């Protein structure tokens, strides 16, 4: 009753079911829906098999998720002259090894390759050549742009931006004024420009844990107890990841699905369970959740450092003050 859709099959999507949708809403949209509990160990096993296939062709692999990655095959291990041929081979090997279909997008930069990979699912292969890239982007609905979320897309619709061609009419300064630091990215992708390299060593930005409750929490003591358990899970994760961060963020989703966050940044890395619990409790107090019903609580640590040598504590020196 209180779950969230992690992934929806193409049959379910016909009825409007989407990932991240509350299970109760999915059931309303599709009364004969079948929910299946996730099997993360199985997914990890298959993900490892797929990545081992990628590694036959290149070491320049940037994972996006368990089942998706960017590959730079410019100089590939098999000296194959065509990225399209490589994609076809990879798709075939994935099918033979895992019995799964895969979609591939091929182009000269990451943005276009990602767009192409989503273009003809679930078993597609799409090439966007340099000659057709700008026209392709101009005709693309803004909702299909990778890197433009639902909220931003709605804002763009309000000011008359519906396609790449509409976005291209705005200069860089205008886009910075409208969308802040993301404006430069939007300016470039409207022109099919993306100079980001495929990065096999992308730094993780945050580690988090969240929990949706079977019944809304209305008792403050129950909220604190639940947050304490989430803090313990978070600490186990940062220990496993061998990482520390300086910023702790509390996420709260209320029964009406309204969501807020509260954050606290420390001078030193948050490397103790007790510290997480104390900070989390303070953030919950600051959120003033009395007389509310909470559906979800989450904690995450960001501003990460994965190198132990950077975990050292900065000394605070108290100098004497002198008066004239």
Q: What positions carry a catalytic annotation?
A: 68
CA atoms within 13 A on the CB side of 58: 21
CA distances from 270 to 205, 229, 243, 261 (A): 15, 17, 10, 18
Q: 190: left (phi > 0), else alpha (psi -120 to 50), else beta?
A: alpha
Neighbouring C-beta atoms of residue 244, cutoff 10 Å: 22
Q: Which of 300, 146, 304, 144 is nearest to 234 (CA)?
A: 300
> Which candidate, 136, 135, 115, 134, places its Cα nearest to that of 124?
115
DSSP of 234-293: HHHHHHHHT-EEEEEEEEEEETTS-EEEEEEEEEEEE--HHHHHHHHHHHHHHTT-TT--
Could you tell me whether strands 125-127 and 104-106 are parallel, antiparallel, or unpaired per DSSP bridges? parallel
* CA gap 223, 142 in Å, rounded: 40
Distance CA 294, CA 274 (A): 24
């Amino acid at each position: 009753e209180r779950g969230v859709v992690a992934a929806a099959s193409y049959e379910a999507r016909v009825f409007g079911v989407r990932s991240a949708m509350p299970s109760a809403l999915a059931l309303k949209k599709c009364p004969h829906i079948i929910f299946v509990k996730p099997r993360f160990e199985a997914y990890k096993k298959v993900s490892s098999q797929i990545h081992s296939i990628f590694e036959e062709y290149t070491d320049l692999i940037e994972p996006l998720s368990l089942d998706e990655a960017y590959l730079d095959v410019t100089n590939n291990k098999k000296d194959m002259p065509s990225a399209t041929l490589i994609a076809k081979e990879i798709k075939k090997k994935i099918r033979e090894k895992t019995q799964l279909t895969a979609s591939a997008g091929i182009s000269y930069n990451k943005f276009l390759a990602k767009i192409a990979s989503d273009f003809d699912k679930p078993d597609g292969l799409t090439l966007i050549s340099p000659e057709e890239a700008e026209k392709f982007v101009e005709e693309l609905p803004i909702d299909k742009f990778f890197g433009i979320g639902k909220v931003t897309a709605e804002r763009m619709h309000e000011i008359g931006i519906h396609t790449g061609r509409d976005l291209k009419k705005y200069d860089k300064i205008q886009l910075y004024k409208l969308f802040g630091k993301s404006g430069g990215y939007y300016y470039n992708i409207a022109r099919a420009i993306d100079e980001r390299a495929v990065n096999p060593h992308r730094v993780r930005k945050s580690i988090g844990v969240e929990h949706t409750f079977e019944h809304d929490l209305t008792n403050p003591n129950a909220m604190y107890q639940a947050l304490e358990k989430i803090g313990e899970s978070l600490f186990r994760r940062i220990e496993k990841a061998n990482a520390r961060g300086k910023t702790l963020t509390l996420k709260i989703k209320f029964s009406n699905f309204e969501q807020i966050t509260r954050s606290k940044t420390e001078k030193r890395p948050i490397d103790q369970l007790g510290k997480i619990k104390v900070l989390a409790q303070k953030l919950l107090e600051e959120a003033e959740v009395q007389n509310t019903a909470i559906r979800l609580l989450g904690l995450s640590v960001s501003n990460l450092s994965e190198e132990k040598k950077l975990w050292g504590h900065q000394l605070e020196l108290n100098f004497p003050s002198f008066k004239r």
